[in-house]
Structure 1
Amino acid sequence: MSTRVWAVATLGVLLVLIGIVAITRVPWSGAPAPRSEQLAALAGLPADAVAKGKAFNAALRPGSYGSMVIGLVVALVLGLTPFGARIVEAVGRPLGGHWLAQAVLGGLVIVLIGEVVSLPFAAWRHTVLKRYGLSTQDWGAWLVDLLKAYGVGAVLGALVLAGFFTITRLFPQWWWAVGAGAAAALVLVLTFVFPVLVEPVFNKFTPMEDGALRDSLVQLAERDGVPVKDVLVADASRRTRAVNAYVSGYGATRRIVVYDTLLREAPEAEVRSVVAHELSHARSNDVLTGTLLGALGSAAAVVLVYLLGAWEPLLRRAGVDSIAEPRAVALLMAIAIVGGLVAGPVQAYVSRKVEARSDAHALELTGDPETFQAMMTRLAMVNLADPDPNRVEHGLFGSHPSTVERLAMARAWAK
């Protein structure tokens, strides 16, 4: 068989594996959240807080959509015209046009262009966060965090670009197979190193002080059958008033992380309820599920890129001879952005199902629907959530059930 036939067959196998993982590990059914209970829960929320949450999200909306649209337009202009290839070529020219210079430096410049054009929308978002009192950062601290994010992205991006185009040069016929394996391996590696190497770049983590709360959280994890290495407090208050907690890491790196804002805003019973929700992700191996789907999805994306590379009109429009050459970096990034937009609603739907299971698990673990509802109400009020968002918008972008859906589920569970 030709390499193209092998690639098509491999893509088919990867899609089947993705389907198997999704069918067997994603909770497609969940606890009921009747609309009547949602409306009853909405009526019980403070009207002024609901109005503020809706106004806050309405203020964010133009910047969010504007950033998405301008990012897509720039990606398509650079990727589907010879302009992107010429930029990559020009960036590599001072270094003799070396392929590695084109791949890494040219690729980073293409990414930087996208970041720069979307920067005004990021500033817009920060302005809104400050106006509504959710951000505690001044502009200097905000800029430092932005530069940190750019730095981490540049390091990871340089490694990915250098690795990808090294593979295409070493394996000109079978780069898609080697690249698919490498992409899957990278996802697996990042799952383990992200909590240890990346999270500390943005937050300082300190062990929670010994006491009744820490003991109760450790006991809650033990009762749930989830071994944790430590209970840490993140200094989230230096950038936000938002409250949250999560279980980070996998295996030996797993730890409970609680925002210091949550400790200040919520009573201990609500903190335990939040942590009970997060423990469900570890107990159900949601990190493993996400890693498997991410690894298989990344491998499938590499194979799909290879198959798209055989479409001559696409290459001519981008002004390149092969999708595996460094000058095609802009085209590759355009494909990635379009693919991300297409996959986004599916990922959001899966995420909502997983989060709904964690909500139900928190209720089962604590047996305390009243505290769960109080905690969900506090999260919505402090984080300025829209408790009952537009159905279409929430379906496209919502990563969690809405506040009224979570409250309705708890009310139904209590009955």
Structure 2
Amino acid sequence: MALSQALRQPASYALLALLAALIIAAIVLVPWTDPPAPPREAVDAAVASLPAGTVAAGKSLSGDLRPGAFLSMAAGLLAALALGLTPLGARIVAACGRPFGGAWLAEALLGGLAVLLLGQLATLPFGAWRHAVLVRHGLSTQGWGGWAVDVAKSYAVSAVLGLVVLGAFYTLTRLAPRLWWAIAAAGAALLVVLMSMLYPLVIEPVFNKFDPLPDSPLRTELLDLAARDGVPVGDVLVADASRRTNAVNAYVSGIGPTRRIVVYDTLLREATPDEVVSVVAHELGHAKDGDVFTGTVLGALGAAAAVCGLAVLGSWTGLLRRVGAESVTSPRALALILAVFAVVGLLSAPLQNLVSRRMEARADQHALDLTGDAEGFAAMQARLAAANHSDVDPPWIVQLIFGSHPTTAERIAAAGEHRSR
């Protein structure tokens, strides 16, 4: 079937409807203009107010990391395209199923894991490069053994999730050969919602140990802050981040009954109580303004749209023949699917980061309003930059494409604007 004919299929109409819903949700839920970005003069003044050593350390680290990051991105994309746009991926999947008589389930599970693993192995050397750079700059406290364990854990989590998704998807395509795309789209959206709720309870403990923050004035202040903000939290936990990094951070994770404040032990070690409160106030802003909900809605709509797009792609028989798959529902098309998702993910990343920056800027304003401590907020941003070796004012093109948060200089400038009101 030609692609022009595929665009007239029910899945294409569903795809257009979901994309429209995604755009509307983004327009309604994302704070595109509020708060306004600080003027450039204020940003330059913020940079000048920071210690020269902090600025230099951030520039040095980002300069050392950037080549590896670009090469990793290129290697991952090239591996995905080499496997997905040639018969190579289909041959690997077929080879994995051959000892089992070419059974579709063996191809789906074993072949799928093989393709996923090859894609991850393509970027592994650059992950090692990144770790070496972080160690050299004193930001990582992990040895190679600990780093390798974390990599293995990450692969194991990916493998388990991959087996579940692959098994469910290819079973569905056989039980409902005509309507699989509609059911799978709903299932993908539901999976995003479930992962948003279960991630802090199931995935986070794989990589960190969490202990309740002992009774103390700080714990009481953080719980009182959340209560005053109207954000119910179940607990305040301390993550043992120091076993792998000297970076400092805190976050609020989970939805509803799973929501909790998480503070890095490094933050407790390095920051004053007022600065910890400032960071947590920012994170409460995300919960208060429903940023987790917004991200979940956008993610669910995007996942459902991706499945419908997959069904439309499945009608492009010429492409399927070129890669050695008879149907998009065949496990031998899996590498093609992953290649398409890799391209879409790469192209959509700048837009996702733009959404993230706008929500982060709103959370900053929330923290300033909640605490009324602009000086403490600016001091905390300076401490975060020094501890995390952040590039306080990266090149605009780097920030545009990769920046998920406002820059340190922009955040300090925003605090100054808030103080002058």
Interval of TM-score (by shorter of Structure 1 and Structure 2): over 0.9
AA at the equivalent of 1:6: P
2:106 aligned with 1:112: no
2:101 aligned with 1:72: no
Q: 2:13 aligns with which of 1, 6, 9?
A: 9
Aligned 8 A contact 2:9 2:312 in 1:
no
2:107 aligned with 1:102: yes
AA at the equivalent of 2:198: V
Aligned 8 A contact 2:6 2:315 in 1:
no
User: 2: CA distance between counterparts of 1:265 and 1:197?
Assistant: 28
Q: 1:209 aligns with which of 205, 210, 214?
A: 214
Aligned equivalent of 1:364: 369
Aligned equivalent of 2:176: 171
AA at the equivalent of 2:414: M
AA at the equivalent of 1:118: T
User: 1: CA distance between counterparts of 2:9 and 2:99?
Assistant: 40
2:48 aligned with 1:43: yes
Q: 1:155 aligns with which of 150, 154, 160?
A: 160
Aligned equivalent of 2:26: 22
User: 2: CA distance between counterparts of 1:2 and 1:86?
Assistant: 26
2:229 aligned with 1:224: yes
2:356 aligned with 1:354: no
Aligned 8 A contact 1:281 1:358 in 2:
yes
Deviation track 1:171-228 (CA, whole Å, cap 9, x = no partner) reads 1122111110111111111111111111001000000010100000000000000000
Aligned equivalent of 1:338: 343
Aligned equivalent of 2:134: 129
2:289 aligned with 1:255: no
User: 2: CA distance between counterparts of 1:90 and 1:150?
Assistant: 22
Q: For 1:399, what is the secondary structure of its paired residue?
A: coil
User: 1: CA distance between counterparts of 2:6 and 2:221?
Assistant: 60
Q: For 1:386, what is the secondary structure of its paired residue?
A: coil
Aligned 8 A contact 2:7 2:312 in 1:
no
Q: For 2:252, what is the secondary structure of its paired residue?
A: strand
Aligned 8 A contact 2:234 2:260 in 1:
yes
Deviation at 1:45, TM superposition (A): 0.8
User: 2: CA distance between counterparts of 1:237 and 1:3?
Assistant: 52
TM-score by length of 2: 0.97
User: 1: CA distance between counterparts of 2:347 and 2:382?
Assistant: 32
Aligned equivalent of 2:238: 233
Q: For 2:9, what is the secondary structure of its paired residue?
A: helix
RMSD: 1.3
Deviation at 1:2, TM superposition (A): 9.7
Deviation at 1:316, TM superposition (A): 2.4
AA at the equivalent of 1:188: V
- Stretches of structure 2 that go unaligned for 5 or more consecutive residues are none
AA at the equivalent of 2:133: V
User: 2: CA distance between counterparts of 1:288 and 1:104?
Assistant: 32
Q: For 1:389, what is the secondary structure of its paired residue?
A: coil
Deviation track 1:351-383 (CA, whole Å, cap 9, x = no partner) reads 000000000000000000000000001111110
AA at the equivalent of 2:14: T
User: 2: CA distance between counterparts of 1:51 and 1:236?
Assistant: 25
AA at the equivalent of 1:92: G
2:155 aligned with 1:188: no
Structure-2 change in CA distance of 1:109 and 1:354 (3 Å): same
User: 2: CA distance between counterparts of 1:48 and 1:270?
Assistant: 21
AA at the equivalent of 2:129: W
User: 2: CA distance between counterparts of 1:15 and 1:68?
Assistant: 26
User: 1: CA distance between counterparts of 2:6 and 2:266?
Assistant: 58
TM-score by length of 1: 0.98
Q: For 2:263, what is the secondary structure of its paired residue?
A: strand
Aligned equivalent of 2:323: 318
Q: Which one is further off, 39-48 or 305-314? A: 305-314
Q: Which one is further off, 1-10 or 280-289? A: 1-10
Aligned equivalent of 1:244: 249
- Stretches of structure 1 that go unaligned for 5 or more consecutive residues are none
AA at the equivalent of 1:29: T
Q: For 1:387, what is the secondary structure of its paired residue?
A: coil
User: 1: CA distance between counterparts of 2:109 and 2:294?
Assistant: 31
Q: For 2:177, what is the secondary structure of its paired residue?
A: coil
Deviation at 1:3, TM superposition (A): 10
Aligned 8 A contact 1:75 1:337 in 2:
yes
Aligned 8 A contact 1:53 1:385 in 2:
yes
User: 2: CA distance between counterparts of 1:265 and 1:24?
Assistant: 39
Aligned 8 A contact 1:191 1:291 in 2:
yes
Aligned 8 A contact 2:236 2:262 in 1:
yes
Deviation at 1:312, TM superposition (A): 2.6
Deviation track 1:5-38 (CA, whole Å, cap 9, x = no partner) reads 3212211211121122111111111233111000
2:59 aligned with 1:54: yes
AA at the equivalent of 1:372: F
Q: 1:373 aligns with which of 360, 375, 378?
A: 378
Q: For 2:142, what is the secondary structure of its paired residue?
A: coil
Give me the identity figure in percent: 57
User: 1: CA distance between counterparts of 2:8 and 2:147?
Assistant: 47
Q: For 1:113, what is the secondary structure of its paired residue?
A: helix
Deviation track 1:73-121 (CA, whole Å, cap 9, x = no partner) reads 1110110001110000001111121101101110110011111121110
AA at the equivalent of 2:394: P
Deviation at 1:313, TM superposition (A): 2.9
